[in-house]
Amino acid sequence: MAKKKKKNGKFAFFKKTGIVFSLFAVLVLAFYCAYLDRVIRKKFDGKRWDLPAVVYARPLELYTGLHLTAEQLEKELQLAGYRPESLPDAAGGYESLNQKIHLVTRDFHFPDGLQKSTNLTVTFSRDRIQSIYQTDSYEELSIVRLDPARIGSFHPREHEDRIVLSRSELPDLLIKTLLAVEDQDFFTHFGLSPRSIARAIWANLKAGETVQGGSTLTQQLVKNFFLTNERTLWRKFNEAIMTLLLELHYSKDEILTAYANEIYLGQDGGRAVHGFALASQFYFRRNVEDISPAQIALLVGMVKGPSYYNPVRHPERTLKRKKLVMDIMREQSLIDEETYKQAQTSPVIDSGKTLSGFNRFPAFLDLVRRQLVQDYHEEDLTSDGLKILSTLDPQMQWQVEKHLSQTLNALEKRSNVETLEGAVIVTNRENGEILAVSGGRNPLQNSFNRAVDAVRPVGSLIKPAVYLTALQNGYTLTSPVDDSAITVDLQDGTQWKPKNFDRIEHGRVALYQALAHSYNLATVRLGMNISLEKVMQTVKHLGIDSSFPPYPSLLLGAVSMSPLEMSHMYQTFAAGGFFIPQRVIGSVLAADNSIVKRFALSVEQRFAPEHIFLINTALQNAVNEGTGKSLAALVPSSYNVAGKTGTSNDLRDSWFAGFTNDRMALVWIGRDDNKPTGLTGASGALVVWGNMIRDFASQPLQLVEPPGIEWSWINPETLETTNRFHYKCRQLPYIAGSSPNPGSTASPSLQKKEPDKGILKTIRKWFQR
């Protein structure tokens, strides 16, 4: 009896202990489930994905007479993700045939509103657009704006990219196919489906390979969205609990939509492609609503293993997988027999030439990021899905990259110098928009952006600032300056004795001649006479923000600046004395396409138009008969280019900056190890500049003569007035009252006064009121 009581006592003890332990386990499980519930709801109810900021090129505007070839338009369409096809009828398709391009544009939200897709035909003749009309109605169109190319993104650390769609934007056939292959019981199970597991095992055994998965879509979403890929019992336990909780709180449509946006479907370099919408654009260059049944089958088939079934690397394997999915689609009556047969003969993906714009122009994107960080936090750029409408002109960018690379290759062979590098900045002369940037000869291989970060001695490129200062202080273009030896006493007790590049003293010369031929001695004497402080003030007003010590060598460009900073100075010359901050962004839109910010044109008049007219005339002369005269071999003289060469000591840096009527461009050539290149500004950078400008089809420069200018005929040798019949005569402009022959106001025959056109006309009127 005692033994029985003892045994019952033990049983009661274990029973109580078991109950306590069970209650404790249930309590712990409840708390853990509550924790997981908070994790799920916090992420699912909040911002589910970090959406990268997307950068677009400028929209291409087409109009009759535009200098553009069919080949150039096709290349830009490919950059924008358009696909070549016969008789295009869906957005994003085009056909090029016999100097005629048919295309269907895509919807795009611009700052001024949504622009709907339209079906266009563009014809070409003699490298220009001949006509534009609606393909269906043949209605002539005066101007058309194409949706811009996506050229890059700013990603979070995970480098994920996606296009988020709502449930209504997902094609029904895509959803039905996905459910047929991955989860037939999706709308009836509670997240976990033993029946699906059993059916998947049977289907896989019957097919002899894995054609269906046992996990439900909800389980897959939990694994991809909340968990890691580690294969442990603990992770499977978490997956099961979180799956049940997700089904408890959210509708089937919400879960299905999240899955369609989250699923990983491949890799584009360093960018992970997530979601069916982005995958449709990446693989087929189509919006997801426009993809065919065969393309739907391919994408759904890739869900099982995007790397294993990569259609680019493993087309045969992918084709086999696509056929299996098509079989299921036919069995489930999702497609008819005719559609099934057509899909079997369609290619895996479009085999046409593709030209991805994703981060294709890293130097330009670097400038975009630098401008954005002045107004936005890093998190805003990598998570809020901003749309950045930039100023990049792809046509111009390609020309810049081509000519910089080709010219450097040719220069290396000619001068037997290796490892030359370069940088180029091209802007719109009137509004300061940066149209193209190259940070090196191999733009996709260089992480060092020389256009911004290569700080090098600018040489004679700074000299126009000295001569502009002189013109502001009573000098004229024909004021005599002394190009003879000079010794300058420095503050440290030493002496500086500059030399001319040709080691020759040229004596008494006109001011415009000293600039044209870049005489060092005359420049130093001129600068010292008008004072370094005034020259430095002019440099700052021209747009240079850097501070320099007031050393006399500044007058010859013994200061270091980046190509971008130096381009600010020539932008001010090109804009007629107006300081216009350069910019790479036009506007920023939010993820919902509302306007976040417009980068408006900012203008400040910093120099009198008469002085700028004189210095720009002198810069034209520097190209016509000075150090830049070799440009005539590359660019027609009718372009009337204004510009200046620059060469640093020991031929380490070669520079050229100049402008036409529509564009300003600056080129630098040097070596990263700072060793001599053997190139002057004329034999190096000028060659790149000339080749680019020739292919840009630029407009000839027309300097607009401001009020208060008069002209006189001058003998360049004696600097005295003469008449137009003298064989050495030269007609030059003067500020009224400063001419050697006052009252002579005839306009020069070679520099006709043209009507003031464009935005500069408007700007000048503002400041003349």
Nearest CA among 381, 392, 391 for reference residue 53: 381
How far is C-alpha 163 from the chain's CA centre? 20
With a CB cutoff of 8 Å and minimum separation 6, the contacts of 62 are 68, 73, 122, 129, 132, 143, 144, 145, 146
| Contact assessment for residue 212 and residue 327, using Cβ atoms and an 8 Å cutoff | no
DSSP SS3 for 11 = helix
Question: Contact, 472 vs 538, CB < 8 A?
Answer: yes
Is 368 exposed, middle or buried (CB count within 10 Å of its CB: 0-12, 13-18, 19+)? buried
Give CA–CA dist 291/298, Å, rounded.
Answer: 11
Write 759-762 long-range contacts (CB < 8 A, 24+).
759/430, 759/431, 759/601, 760/430, 760/575, 760/576, 760/578, 760/704, 761/704
Structure token digits, residue 314: 């493993």
What's the CA gap between 210 and 204, in Å, rounded?
Answer: 5
Identify the CA nearest to 123 among candidates 109, 141, 110, 108: 141
Question: Burial letters for 8-22: b for 16+ Cβ neighbours within 10 Å, e otherwise?
Answer: eeeeeeeeeeeeeee
Which of 220, 231, 173, 174 lies closest to 196 in space, CA to CA?
Answer: 220
In three-state secondary structure terms, 381 is helix
∠ Cα 326 331 335 (to 5°): 60
Q: Distance between CA 720 and CA 16 in Å, rounded?
A: 120
Residue 281 to residue 286: CA distance in whole angstroms: 5
Euclidean distance between CA atoms 412 and 136, whole angstroms:
53
Mapped onto helix, strand or coil, the DSSP state of residue 67 is strand
Name 711's bridge partners: 733
Q: Which residue has the tokens 């084709």?
A: 319
Percentage helix, strand, coil, to 5, in the chain?
A: 40, 20, 40
User: Reduced to 3 states, what is the DSSP secondary structure of residue 733?
Assistant: strand
Q: What is the CA radius of gyration of the chain?
A: 35
> Helices in 274-336 by DSSP H: which ranges?
276-284, 293-302, 315-331
Q: Which residues carry out catalysis?
A: 182, 460
Q: CA-CA distance, 542 to 573, in Å (whole number)?
A: 8
d(CA 555, CA 346): 68
The per-residue b/e assignment along 529-551, b for 16 or more CB within 10 angstroms, e otherwise, is: ebebeebbebbbbbbbeeebeee
Q: For 664, which DSSP code?
A: E
Length of the chain: 769
Residues 34 and 380: their CA atoms lie apart, in Å, by 31
CB atoms inside a 10 Å sphere around CB 270: 10
In 10 A of CB 757, how many CB atoms? Answer: 12
3-state class of 605 per DSSP?
strand
432 Cα distance to chain centroid: 16
